[in-house]
Structure 1
Amino acid sequence: MTYRWILFDADDTLFHFDAYQGLRRMFERHAVDFTPDHYAQYQQLNKPLWVDYQNGAITAAELQTTRFDGWARQLGVAAADLNLAFLESMAEICTLLPGAQALLDALADAGVRLGLITNGFTALQLARLERTGLRERFDPLVISEQLGVAKPDVRIFEHALQALGDPPREQVLMVGDNPHSDILGGLNAGLHTCWFNPHGQAAPAGIAAHHEVRALGELQTLLLG
């Protein structure tokens, strides 16, 4: 076993993140039939906001409210209230990805220390961890909204490493699905990295993970044999 410490991303690495279904569920409560076209329009606004957030150009609060400003005006409600309702809906439909529970159980049984570094928002991440019984599994639990910096900023990784007691970095593995925030960020922090790439996408130029897997069961075999 090479890695004694493993840091995981959350969304689309351990947890299934279906924003469309979460938005549909939330908007049903406002008598809105949220369609794929609505979702495409939402993503046109949401995706650039996430880039700005990860680059430190806007805050978590600005992202969460700005993405719902148009709908808030249309429905006559506060954008912050829509965002909170969306996070609640996402918590209600949360599920672990196939193989996630078995992987985490096996690593814990092997004495590996597990941490979580997520750019997701505090209310949703804590609710999902509680619902799935994983809240106590991760130490440290690093949430960008609480820290004030987001992946790929090296400072969020440094914070996690400090919480781990500053272990040898070649013995720390960062696992995530996003090559820019998870893999590049981990590499810049001097960590070993594993790209969880279930769809077999081509790696972006200049980003080379130490490992790549297409299923969490494959990662379990890689780590534990």
Structure 2
Amino acid sequence: MQRLALFDLDNTLVDRSEAFRRWAVEFCADHGLSEEALAWLITTDQNGSVPRDWFFGEVTDRFGLAPGDTMWGQYRRRMPELVTCPEEVLGALTLLRDDGWTVAIVTNGQADNQLGKIRRTGLDRCVDAWAISGQVGIRKPAREIFEVAARGCGLDLRGGGWAIGDSPVLDVEGGRAAGLATLWVSRGKDWPATLAPPDRTVTDVLAAVQVLRDEDTGR
């Protein structure tokens, strides 16, 4: 198997949930909304799994604010400023590449928002390529977006590799369908009983990188 690692971005490499919570706090403060409204925003967001146009349509309807597309644009500008990637994660990716691995990011989302996160956190200096659904017109779990990421690294999925992420469907099921070994970042959650399990499970991305390094040395 070739040394190819395709990482998810949100809630795998970066803490998207905390960034959204901070955005929601600011949003409520700016519009004079209550703690109940904050809880509603976080619940309705569903960890970013729902389409943003739908989400901001719901926000508009509930609070009677500016049109959803205006809020969506403000959100896309602000989220990259709020998201963080720990130095330990950047360092782990650098070590992985030093070991001879090729590393890419495969993420769903708008190009400006996701690319802003990649660049502002310094991830652009720690990976070889990225495939963003809003940029390439393909969304996970489709095999083709994993192919785009591999080609961006000068590789082919026929050589195998690993898909790493926190979504059982988008990252694990999608990676498996693309012919990749799968590494689920559980973040303390239980695996859905209705799905075939991943090849490996870890609690966070640092442990995921260690699995790859150990697999490479046969430990």
Structure 1 gap segments, 5+ residues each: 52-62
2:122 to 119, 133, 149: 133
Structure 1 position 101 matched with structure 2 position 100: no
1:202 to 181, 184, 191: 191
- Mean CA deviation greater in 109-118 or 137-146: 137-146
Structure 1 position 9 matched with structure 2 position 41: no
**Pair 70,7 (structure 1): closer, same or farther in 2 beyond 3 Å:** closer
2:208 to 193, 199, 219: 219
- Mean CA deviation greater in 12-21 or 70-79: 70-79
Structure 2 gap segments, 5+ residues each: 215-219
CA distance in 1, matches of 2:8, 2:32: 32
Tell me the equivalent position of 1:38: 37
One-letter code of the match for 2:52?
Q
CA distance in 2, matches of 1:48, 1:99: 23
**Pair 72,47 (structure 1): closer, same or farther in 2 beyond 3 Å:** same
2:111 to 115, 122, 125: 122
- Give how far 1:75 is off: 4.8
Tell me the equivalent position of 1:68: 56
- Mean CA deviation greater in 17-26 or 215-224: 215-224
Name the TM-score, length of structure 2 as normaliser: 0.82
- Alpha-carbon RMSD: 2.7
One-letter code of the match for 1:64?
R
Secondary structure of the residue aligned to 2:123 is: coil
One-letter code of the match for 2:190?
Q
Question: What is the CA deviation profile of residues 61-118 of structure 1, one whole-angstrom value per residue up to 9, with x for unaligned ones?
Answer: xx33331224436454221121122233322221115841221121122221111000
Q: How does 1:160-179 map to 2 (within 5 A)?
A: 160-167=149-156, 169=158, 171-179=160-168
CA distance in 2, matches of 1:83, 1:33: 18
Using the aligned pairs only, state the percent identity.
25
Name the TM-score, length of structure 1 as normaliser: 0.80
**Pair 98,210 (structure 1): closer, same or farther in 2 beyond 3 Å:** farther
